[in-house]
Structure formats: structure tokens, C-alpha cells
């Protein structure tokens, strides 16, 4: 018995870390801790809704500050890992932040803060009673957790957290249109989540671990392991989450149904979680499988861009038009992933970060346009330029940015992607990027001509004014879009470093296993 016990004992020097946690280490878990703690607090005082925004908005300001500090810490010190209970993987659960995860978390925090402020004018008292701000904080917890976890099963858990929170936000109001959209959203996302869980189970069966760094090291050490099925399941699951062809019809059928602030948060955040997961799992952990599935990703990217571009032109509801524009962006990102390498992945990352900010602003803008015009159908609205020229100018800037025109932030990732696809010999992807951009220009130009430039069919019953809480987030988000368009060098430089760390993740591995592989 003694011999058996000794044979199965664990070497604690390898299983535990005795290094004390620094203040910098705590930055990795603070984004999740802030959101969960404040979300739970708001649930406890759910009847006192007047306090919800008073507590939630400062908490999200703190979240953005912490995310900024995390980006700075990772950019200067390298990847940071914090493990639960000092147990190193595969025994303990790790939160790991590199530049990729920190940048996504920061962009998400900015969009979440903008949404919390915008909701002051968009969410009525009934929406607050039904839990808008608690759901928002829990959504941000799920998104932040997905970007910062170092464990692939916990990535699935954070997907579930944000999925449940998004259900609550989607049905606020309980109109027939919302419930119909929620059903489509729920069914497709639950299928994607199930495929993700199956892929995680296969991963554990093959590698015997769920830590991302551990899996990546074992995959590199034994390249002949049977991982093709795992890779295919991950690509399909994350493609469904990101709304890539052929499983993207749920997005334009559901994202236009909730309140404007919810549409903006969904358009800016949820699909990008799928994009991040694809980059993290398929580029860092299973790069060989991504290479073998490259043709599938290329075809999906091509059809996503072309069909979504044509779909945007065909819409009469301006909210559905924006839904197809979101899908066009996903196609652009998938094109960069299909090309791979530093140039393709840098274009994909910069486009994703740009899209998180711009799509949030764009949904806010079309929501405000519907409020000012009294509807969302291009057949019925008009005269927005005459009634509110400043808002029309802001809208036009957002439309230019979405089409990828200079001097806005959408131009640079599109230029990077076209150069990368042509350099890789995939000219059809370059054509699809340009064609989808042309379709987006036509679709949004049509929106501007009909909803803004064309005179209104009848004078409005009463003049509608935008509140400061509605205007300020849009102006702030668009200021970032313009700033990154005019002065893109810092973003491009840090994106290049993030992709280099993703393609050569030795520093990430060392942050998880300071003493070497498990």
C-alpha cells in the first residue's frame, strides 16, 4: 500500500506555485470580479432601480480603467497568469492575459460603458425593473471572462454566462417580435454551444488537460495526435457564434428586435467573442488543424462577405441593414484568419477591434434615427438631414467608416486584408472584400439618401430631441473611430505585437508554467 501511495503521489513542487501574487496579477481577474460583484449587488437591490445606473456606470468606468492598466501591464511585462488556489494547470484553473485577450477586453469594456450610458435614455423604468443593468453587468462578466480565461472548458462556461445574460436582454419588453427573434437566436446559439462542448470533451479525451497553454504544448510535442475532428468542431461552433456562412441567418433575424442599446451591445460584442475564440483556439492551440481547414474557412469567408453584402442592399429596415453590415465584417475577419500569418491575422485583429467600437455606435445611430424619424422603414422615413444636420453628419461619418473609406478606422484593416489576400494568392478573397465594401457603400448610401436627404413625407407630430445620455456615447465611440483612422500607428503596432505573441506563444506558455511544461 505504501508503494502504491508513493507511485501515485503528486510532486507538489511541480503542482503548486509558491510565488506571491503581485498587484499586477490581480488585474487579470479584476474585470470579471468587478462585473460579477456589481451584477449580484444590483440583483439584491432589484426593486430600487434608481440606484442601478448610479452603481453600474461607475463600475464600468472602473472596468475600462482596469482593462487599460491590463493592456499596459501586458505590453510592458509580457503575458500575465493567475491560478486559483496556487494550483498550477492541469490541476488548477488559470486566468491568462496576453495582448490579444487584453485588447479584446478593453474594446469590450468601452462598448459596455457606452451602452450603460446610452441606456439612461433608451431603457424605460419597466426595462430597469426587469433587470437591464444586472444583465448588462453579467454579460460583461461573460465577455471579459471569455477573453481572459486560460482554460478551454471555462471558455465554454463564460460562453454560457454571456448567452444566458443575452437571452435576458433580448426579451426585455416581451413583444412578439422580440420573442420571435429570441427563439431564432437561442436555437442556433444553443446548437453552437453544444458543438463547442462536444469539442471540449474530445479535446480532454485526446490531451488529458483543459488548460490552453498545456494543450498547445502537447499538440506541438505530438503533431500526429488525431485532432482533425476537434478542429472541425471548433471551427463550426465558433463560426456559428460569429455568424459566418452558412449559419448566420439568425443574426439579422434577431439583432433588430430588442431595444437599441441591446442591439448595439450585441452587434459590437457577441460575434467578436466567437472571433476571439477562433483566433485563440485555432491559431495558438491547434494551428495545424487550421491550416488543414484553410480552404473551408476561405470559402466561408467569401460567401459570408458576398451574400451579406447583397443582403444589406436588399433591406428596407435600417436595423436589418446594419445586421448584414455586421456579417460583412465577420467575413472580412475570417478572410484574415484563412490567409494566416502576421499580415492576415493582424488585419483580422484590427478589423475586429474596429468593428467592436463601430458596430456599437452604428446600431446606436440607426436607433436614434428611428426615434427622430418615427420609424425604421426606408419606405416611410425621411428628412433627418433637415431636422438634425449635426446628427446627419455623425451618421454619414459612421457610414463611411463601415464601408471602409478613409479617413476612418475601417480603412486600415481593410487595406491590410486586401494586401494579405493578394500576397497569399487568394485573389478571390480580395475581390470579395472589395465587393462587400462596395455593397456596404451602396446599402448605407441608400439609407442616407432616403432616410436623411429625402424630405419627410409628412411633418412630425412633435419635434423629438436627443438626450445627452444618447448623444454622448455615440460621439465618444465615433471619436475613437476617427482617431484610429487619422492616427492608426499605435493600434497597428500593438496589434502586430499581439499577433506575434499568438503565433509564437512561448511567453504565454512560460507565464502559465514558470518552471516548464506540465
Local structure of 121: helix, strand or coil: helix
More confident residue, 64 or 249: 64
Q: H or E element: which one contains 65?
A: helix 51-77
In the chain, what are the helix, strand and coil shares in percent, each to the nearest 5?
75, 5, 20
Average pLDDT of the segment spanning 287-291 = 83
Distance CA 311, CA 323 (A): 9
pLDDT digits 0-9 by tens, 257-278: 888 999 999 999 999 999 999 9
Distance CA 233, CA 220 (A): 20
CA-nearest of 22, 148, 139, 37 to 94 is: 148
Return the sign of the alpha-carbon dihedral for residues 326, 330, 331, 336: positive
Distance CA 93, CA 98 (A): 16
More confident residue, 257 or 66: 66
> What φ, ψ does residue 242 adopt, rounded to 5°?
-85, -10
Instruction: Look up cell 461619418; give the residue.
Output: 397
CA-nearest of 383, 246, 350 to 307 is: 246
Number of H helices, E strands in the chain: 26, 2
pLDDT at 4 (0 to 100): 42
pLDDT at 459 (0 to 100): 63
Return the sign of the alpha-carbon dihedral for residues 495, 499, 502, 508: negative
pLDDT digits 0-9 by tens, 380-403: 888 888 888 999 999 999 999 999
Q: H or E element: which one contains 80?
A: strand 80-83
pLDDT band at 15 (very low <50, low <70, confident <90, very high): low
Q: Which three cell numbers stand for residue 86?
A: 496556487
Judge whether residue 87 has pLDDT over 60. yes
Range list of β-strands (E), 279-320: none
Geometric angle at alpha carbon 411, from 103 and 468, rounded to 5°? 65
pLDDT cut 70: percent of the chain above it: 93
Average pLDDT of the segment spanning 325-329 = 95
pLDDT band at 128 (very low <50, low <70, confident <90, very high): confident
**Spatial contact of 213 and 96, defined as CB atoms under 8 Å apart:** yes
Average pLDDT of the segment spanning 143-164 = 94
Q: What rounded mean pLDDT belongs to the chain?
A: 89
CB burial of 2-41 (b: ≥16 within 10 Å; e: otherwise) equals eeeeeeeeeeeeeebbeeeeeebbebbbbbbebbbebbeb
Residue 352 Cα distances to 104, 186, 283, 335, 465, angstroms: 8, 24, 16, 12, 32
Say which range, 131-140, 247-256, 422-431, has the weakest mean pLDDT. 247-256
Distance CA 397, CA 380 (A): 23
Q: How far is CA 95 from the centre of its chain?
A: 18
**Spatial contact of 337 and 290, defined as CB atoms under 8 Å apart:** yes
Within 171-270, where are the H helices? 176-207, 212-221, 228-242, 250-254, 260-265
pLDDT at 7 (0 to 100): 43
Average pLDDT of the segment spanning 105-122 = 95
More confident residue, 129 or 475: 475
pLDDT band at 61 (very low <50, low <70, confident <90, very high): very high
pLDDT cut 90: percent of the chain above it: 64
pLDDT at 1 (0 to 100): 40
Judge whether residue 6 has pLDDT over 50. no
pLDDT at 516 (0 to 100): 61
Q: H or E element: which one contains 81?
A: strand 80-83
CA-nearest of 272, 329, 281, 335 to 107 is: 272
Residue 14 Cα distances to 37, 90, 297, 510, angstroms: 33, 11, 39, 14
Distance CA 8, CA 2 (A): 10
Judge whether residue 18 has pLDDT over 60. no
CA dihedral 280, 284, 285, 290 (to 10 degrees): 90
Judge whether residue 3 has pLDDT over 60. no
Judge whether residue 57 has pLDDT over 70. yes
Average pLDDT of the segment spanning 403-407 = 90
pTM to 2 decimals?
Answer: 0.93
pLDDT at 2 (0 to 100): 42
Q: Which three cell numbers stand for residue 258?
A: 430588442
Domain ranges of the chain: 293-500
Distance CA 398, CA 396 (A): 5
Return the sign of the alpha-carbon dihedral for residues 114, 120, 124, 130: positive
CA-nearest of 135, 154, 134 to 145 is: 154
pLDDT at 289 (0 to 100): 81
pLDDT digits 0-9 by tens, 190-224: 898 999 999 999 999 999 899 999 999 998 888 78
pLDDT at 42 (0 to 100): 93
pLDDT at 5 (0 to 100): 43
Amino acid at each position: 500500500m505504501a508503494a502504491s501511495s508513493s507511485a501515485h503521489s503528486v510532486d507538489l513542487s511541480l503542482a503548486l506555485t509558491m510565488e506571491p501574487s503581485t498587484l499586477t496579477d490581480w488585474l487579470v481577474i479584476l474585470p470579471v470580479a468587478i462585473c460579477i460583484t456589481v451584477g449580484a449587488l444590483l440583483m439584491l437591490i432589484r426593486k430600487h432601480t434608481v440606484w442601478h445606473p448610479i452603481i453600474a456606470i461607475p463600475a464600468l468606468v472602473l472596468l475600462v480603467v482596469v482593462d487599460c492598466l491590463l493592456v499596459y501591464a501586458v505590453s510592458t511585462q509580457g503575458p500575465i497568469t493567475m491560478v486559483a488556489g496556487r494550483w498550477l494547470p492541469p490541476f488548477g484553473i488559470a486566468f491568462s492575459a496576453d495582448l490579444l485577450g487584453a485588447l479584446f477586453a478593453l474594446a469590450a469594456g468601452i462598448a459596455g460603458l457606452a451602452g450603460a450610458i446610452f441606456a439612461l435614455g433608451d431603457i424605460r423604468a419597466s426595462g430597469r425593473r426587469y433587470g437591464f443593468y444586472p444583465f448588462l453587468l453579467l454579460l460583461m462578466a461573460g465577455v471579459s471572462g471569455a477573453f481572459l480565461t486560460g482554460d478551454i472548458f471555462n471558455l465554454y462556461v463564460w460562453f454560457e454566462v454571456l448567452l444566458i445574460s443575452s437571452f435576458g436582454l433580448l426579451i426585455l419588453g416581451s413583444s412578439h417580435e422580440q420573442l420571435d427573434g429570441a427563439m431564432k437566436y437561442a436555437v442556433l446559439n444553443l446548437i453552437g454551444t453544444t458543438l463547442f462542448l462536444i469539442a471540449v470533451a474530445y479535446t480532454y479525451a485526446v490531451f488529458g488537460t483543459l488548460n490552453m497553454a498545456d494543450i498547445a504544448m502537447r499538440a506541438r510535442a505530438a503533431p500526429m495526435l488525431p485532432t482533425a475532428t476537434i478542429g472541425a468542431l471548433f471551427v463550426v461552433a465558433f463560426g456559428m457564434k460569429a455568424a459566418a456562412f452558412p449559419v448566420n441567418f439568425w443574426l439579422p433575424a434577431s439583432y433588430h428586435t430588442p431595444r437599441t442599446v441591446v442591439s448595439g451591445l450585441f452587434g459590437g460584442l457577441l460575434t467578436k467573442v466567437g472571433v476571439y475564440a477562433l483566433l485563440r483556439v485555432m491559431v495558438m492551440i491547434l494551428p495545424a488543424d487550421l491550416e488543414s481547414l484553410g480552404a473551408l474557412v476561405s470559402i466561408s469567408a467569401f460567401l459570408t462577405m458576398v451574400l451579406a453584402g447583397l443582403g444589406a442592399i436588399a433591406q428596407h429596415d435600417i436595423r436589418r441593414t446594419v445586421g448584414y453590415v455586421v456579417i460583412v465584417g465577420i467575413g472580412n475577419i475570417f478572410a484574415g484568419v484563412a490567409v494566416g500569418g502576421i499580415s492576415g491575422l493582424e488585419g483580422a485583429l484590427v478589423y475586429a477591434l474596429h468593428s467592436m467600437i463601430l458596430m456599437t455606435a452604428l446600431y446606436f445611430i440607426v436607433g436614434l434615427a428611428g426615434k427622430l424619424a418615427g420609424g425604421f422603414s426606408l419606405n416611410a422615413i425621411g428628412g433627418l438631414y433637415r431636422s438634425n444636420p449635426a446628427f446627419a453628419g455623425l451618421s454619414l461619418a459612421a457610414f463611411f467608416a463601415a464601408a471602409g473609406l478613409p479617413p476612418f478606422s475601417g480603412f486600415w484593416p481593410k487595406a491590410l486584408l486586401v494586401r494579405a489576400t493578394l500576397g497569399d494568392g487568394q485573389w478571390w478573397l480580395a475581390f470579395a472584400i472589395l465587393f462587400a465594401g462596395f455593397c456596404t457603400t451602396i446599402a448605407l448610401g441608400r439609407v442616407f439618401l432616403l432616410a436623411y436627404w429625402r424630405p419627410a413625407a409628412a411633418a412630425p407630430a412633435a419635434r423629438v430631441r436627443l438626450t445627452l445620455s444618447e448623444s454622448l456615447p455615440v460621439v465618444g465611440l465615433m471619436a475613437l473611430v476617427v482617431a484610429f483612422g487619422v492616427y492608426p500607428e499605435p493600434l497597428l503596432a500593438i496589434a502586430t505585437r499581439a499577433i506575434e505573441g499568438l503565433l509564437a506563444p512561448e511567453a504565454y506558455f512560460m507565464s502559465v508554467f514558470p518552471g516548464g511544461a506540465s
